[in-house]
């Protein structure tokens, strides 16, 4: 049976709108959500993150969802994460204690737009909360994740999904000098993949022992899905070489 909980928030709508005016770019907001998703990885398991893009009925917006399959949040942790600058919880998956989450929601939504979070810390119903922010918000329990059908989360049964309806004026900041009229999601995806490949290259590179990455990040547009590759960043024409050395008769990589 669906349950409702009223929670108090320490962010006024005006303060939330102020967060949106700080100049954060679209990929920076998405990276805030990916940071939280990677931090949620279960011990001993590889992190899985999906960034889903889809067109909106209004051509001036796009649909965005960031999902992960790690450790989600129960009601108290979710309430704590929605506060601005609240003290961290020892078991809270949001390492930035609400700063990164709230910044991302504010900047990606334009400050007054629509967003929604679904999360659970165990199999069963999800906790669901809708934006925009207000001093009192309603958290509901639900058995299903109600997203636009065009959003493809790549894998089933996520633990947490953050959905935002993003104005195209914000989405186009994926490329600061890009075409301000561009609405082609395939091109926007390629820009986003480049940002993610650089930012998370350490997670995406193959481990020299297991030959597996520490994380997989998929970016989908409709049913089309691409994995983000690691993108190295050259530093003053430097290069990195890995050597094996022998210490006490033992070869150490």
**What per-residue confidence (pLDDT) applies to 96?**
46
With cut-offs at 50, 70 and 90, classify the pLDDT of residue 101: confident
Residue 49 has pLDDT above 80, yes or no: yes
DSSP type of residue 132: S
Q: 74, 121 in Cβ contact below 8 A? A: yes
Strands 215-221 and 47-55 come out as parallel
**What per-residue confidence (pLDDT) applies to 192?**
96
Residue 1 has pLDDT above 80, yes or no: no
H or E segment to which residue 16 belongs:
helix 13-20
Q: 127, 141 in Cβ contact below 8 A? A: yes
* Average pLDDT rounded to a whole number, residues 22-50: 90
Question: Which of the two residues, 72 and 237, has the higher pLDDT score?
Answer: 72
CB atoms within 10 A of CB 198: 15
Which long-range contacts link 170-176 to residues 24+ away (Cβ below 8 Å)? Answer: 170/26, 170/29, 170/107, 170/108, 170/110, 171/26, 171/62, 171/64, 172/26, 173/25, 173/26, 173/27, 174/25, 174/26, 174/27, 176/25
DSSP type of residue 170: H
CA distance 164 to 9: 19
Maximum CA extent, the chain: 67
CA angle 8, 166, 131 (to 5 degrees): 15
> pLDDT tens digits for 104-157?
999 999 988 999 999 999 999 999 999 888 899 999 999 999 999 999 999 999
> pLDDT tens digits for 153-209?
999 999 999 999 999 999 999 886 655 677 789 999 999 999 999 999 989 988 777
Its pTM stands at 0.86
**What per-residue confidence (pLDDT) applies to 23?**
83
Domains and CATH numbers, the chain: 4-252 (3.30.565.10)
CA angle 16, 22, 24 (to 5 degrees): 105
């Amino acid at each position: 049976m669906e349950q409702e909980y009223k929670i108090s928030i320490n962010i006024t709508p005006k303060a939330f709108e102020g967060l949106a005016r700080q100049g954060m770019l679209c990929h920076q907001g998405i990276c805030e959500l990916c940071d939280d998703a990677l931090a949620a990885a279960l011990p001993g398991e590889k992190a899985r993150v999906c960034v889903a893009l889809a067109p909106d009925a209004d051509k001036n917006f796009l649909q965005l969802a960031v999902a992960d399959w790690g450790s989600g949040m129960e009601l108290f942790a979710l309430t704590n994460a929605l506060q601005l600058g609240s003290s961290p919880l020892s078991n809270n998956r949001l390492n930035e204690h609400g700063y990164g989450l709230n910044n991302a929601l504010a900047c990606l939504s334009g400050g007054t737009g629509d967003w929604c979070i679904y999360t659970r810390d165990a199999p069963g119903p999800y906790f669901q909360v809708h934006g925009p922010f207000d001093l009192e918000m309603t958290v509901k329990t639900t058995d299903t994740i109600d997203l636009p059908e065009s959003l493809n989360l790549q894998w089933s049964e996520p633990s947490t999904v953050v959905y935002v309806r993003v104005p195209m004026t914000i989405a186009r900041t994926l490329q600061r000098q890009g075409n301000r009229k561009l609405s082609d999601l395939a091109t926007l995806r390629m820009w986003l993949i480049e940002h993610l490949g650089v930012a998370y290259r350490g997670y995406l590179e193959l481990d020299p022992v297991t030959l597996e990455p520490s994380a997989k990040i998929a970016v989908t547009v409709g049913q089309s899905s691409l994995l983000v590759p690691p993108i190295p960043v050259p530093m003053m024409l430097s290069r990195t070489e890995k050597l094996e050395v022998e210490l006490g008769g033992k070869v150490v990589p």
